[in-house]
A = this chain, B = another copy of it.
């Protein structure tokens, strides 16, 4: 699938280092006229796939939460290949497929941006005589290579922060940048142990992070979300590392709820906290502009679909929290490990 031989990820052998669920072809691929999507609802208990014959089936799979993280946009991009058949009204049908796919994630503007980039490149190539299928595949491959190169760069910077025998606390599922950093540290003989909070209500820590690290042979300890400070006080944690859904230009880290309280506990124990980021979001100047998504409280009242309390009891589900720059030791970006001051400097760029 990845053909760009000049990519950093290829050169570094990154695709071999990745666990099952993060190998791009297990997230979503186009195969024998179908879009094949890794079914994360069944992971880690089953390594299953959902195969889709039509754009509508792909859209339904995305709505049904078959995949998450980078899975939705990768599935959607592959779905474009289902209508790239060289027949009449191809551009019109591609544009219609884009509408159907983008509608599955009304708040996720990244999917729309990526599909629009692929379609813009494809329409240009088609005008120059290239087939739509070829152009979509090339666009997607080069986009994927860039993304995995970016994971690789950030993982290398993160690995440089890790010392031998480090205990590392994480939160939720910090995606390929973090998992690759752990894989590199392990490969380099650093003898690390990763403490993984289960991350209620969706249990991404238990279902995605812990099995990914376990598959790679890395020492992992599953804990509940109320244990990080207790584990820190026992001297087991030397670094705290998470992903970031958003980093503002004034240095605030927005990530899965729970990140903030572990960052406070890390600061109390003088343990550095690092957040993985793509870069800063030029559209989010300050933390005051952030609106925290409030999700369905039913998720808090249930675990794996089973009720844990009475249905009439009110619950809160703020999906993310905000960690101020005073608690962040560094932001791991493609340009290196940046301080809050470095980030502030970007405003002037």
- A interface residues with partner B (beta carbon < 8 Å): 44-45, 171, 195, 197-201, 203, 206-207, 210-211, 214, 219-231, 233-234, 256-258, 260-262, 264-265, 268, 297, 300-301, 303-304, 306-310, 312-318, 321-322
- Give A297 to B207 CA distance when docked, in angstroms: 16
- Give A210 to B314 CA distance when docked, in angstroms: 9
A-B CB contact pairs (8 Å), 9 listed: A199-B226, A200-B225, A207-B308, A221-B316, A222-B301, A224-B317, A230-B318, A233-B321, A261-B262
Knowing A200-B225, A226-B261, A314-B220 are in contact, say whether A306-B304 is a contact too (CB < 8 A).
yes
- Give A223 to B313 CA distance when docked, in angstroms: 11
A45: which of B206, B262, B307 is its contact (CB, 8 Å)? Answer: B307
Residues of B close to A211: CB separation below 8 A: 309-310, 313
A200: which of B45, B198, B262, B309 is its contact (CB, 8 Å)? Answer: B198
Residues of B close to A45: CB separation below 8 A: 307, 310
Knowing A198-B200, A198-B300, A300-B222 are in contact, say whether A230-B207 is a contact too (CB < 8 A).
no
- Give A220 to B257 CA distance when docked, in angstroms: 20
The reply to whether B224 and A225 contact each other, CB–CB distance below 8 Å, is: yes
A214: which of B256, B264, B265, B313 is its contact (CB, 8 Å)? Answer: B313
Residues of B close to A234: CB separation below 8 A: 318
* Residue ID in chain B nearest A256 by CB atoms: B226
Residues of B close to A227: CB separation below 8 A: 257-258, 316, 318, 321
A257: which of B203, B230, B304 is its contact (CB, 8 Å)? Answer: B230
Knowing A223-B316, A233-B322, A265-B261 are in contact, say whether A308-B228 is a contact too (CB < 8 A).
no
* Residue ID in chain B nearest A258 by CB atoms: B226
Residues of B close to A214: CB separation below 8 A: 310, 312-313
Residues of B close to A304: CB separation below 8 A: 303-304, 306, 308
* Residue ID in chain B nearest A213 by CB atoms: B313
